Amino acid sequence: MTVTVVGSVAFDALETPFGKRDRILGGAATHFSLAARFFTDVRVVGVVGQDFGAEELDVFVSRGINTDDVEQVAGQKSFFWAGRYEDDMQVAHTLDTQLNVFAGFDPVLTAGARSADVVFLANIQPDLQRRVREQCVAASIAGLDSMNYWIESARDSLVEAIRAVEIVVLNDAELRMLTREPNLARAAREICDLGPRAVVVKQGSYGACLFNDGDFFFVPGGSRYTSLVYTDRLDALQIAPRSEVVVTPTTTRWPKRGSRRSRQSSSTGSG
């Protein structure tokens, strides 16, 4: 299986109660590709500036990530984001955003990128996400990530992009904002009603949960939990990992629409 990810490759500056870093490698496509490469062959599509050097490129190349579709623009700087986290690590406070070379990003994929089995549309403008999906005709699975900025400024375009994918990834606040539904289970169902097969809800340090065809699957954050080998949820999505996935799952049955249990639990909320 091969995966193409399209999105930002950037530099970040971060402040937290535990430390500060003025310039580190970041970007949605960066983080996705570094995680996905454990399981399959990954090709990253993005644009960087002249300040993106051999050391940064080697982060990808040394880990077997294909960078043939990373364009470097001379005379310009890479996308830059600065943010601060306070005691509540669930909330990021943006201090500075410089689009730089990313402002003109309009990805045209090579044949190698278009031929991937899976495409992940990282956090970029929804119209670009939709155009990339249209280029990847060979992909049987497409995933999409987004954020509050696009929900507020390009809601209709984002909804159309969501209709074209199988998996949607949002954090809990974004999911509630997009659907205007406070209950996460009902909000995820609304997204699935648009066409996707699964919704992944990111919950920061608390972990993440997946809603998929009546199922609810939760993975806690942190490293203090006892881990075990768990692979069958990826099998359920027909995404075969190259190696075993080590997680700590908590699985419950997501009630079918209209069931007695669903009606009884609907008033309790979902977090």
Q: What is the pLDDT of residues 6-36, one digit of tens each?
A: 999 999 999 999 999 999 999 999 999 999 9
Question: In the predicted model, is pLDDT for residue 259 greater than 90?
Answer: no
User: How many CB atoms neighbour CB 170 within 10 A?
Assistant: 25
CA-CA distance, 224 to 211, in Å (whole number)? 24
Task: Output phi, psi for 188, to 5 deg.
Answer: -65, -40
Q: What is the structure's pLDDT at 71?
A: 96
Over residues 216-255, the pLDDT tens digits come to: 899 988 654 444 344 444 444 444 433 333 443 444 343 3
pTM for the complete prediction? 0.80
Query: Per-residue confidence at 108, pLDDT binned at 50, 70, 90?
Result: confident
DSSP string, 175-193: HHHHHT-SSHHHHHHHHHH
Strand order in the sheet with 92-98: 19-26, 10-16, 79-85, 92-98
Over residues 47-100, the pLDDT tens digits come to: 999 999 999 999 999 999 999 999 999 999 999 999 999 988 778 888 999 999
Over residues 123-138, the pLDDT tens digits come to: 999 999 999 999 999 9
CATH code assigned to 2-165:
3.40.1190.20
Domain limits, the chain = 2-165
Pair 189, 211: CB distance under 8 Å: yes
Question: In the predicted model, is pLDDT for residue 185 greater than 80?
Answer: yes
- Residue 108 sits at the vertex; the CA angle it makes with 42 and 143, to the nearest 5 degrees, is 45
Query: Per-residue confidence at 271, pLDDT binned at 50, 70, 90?
Result: very low
Structure tokens, 181: 């539904």
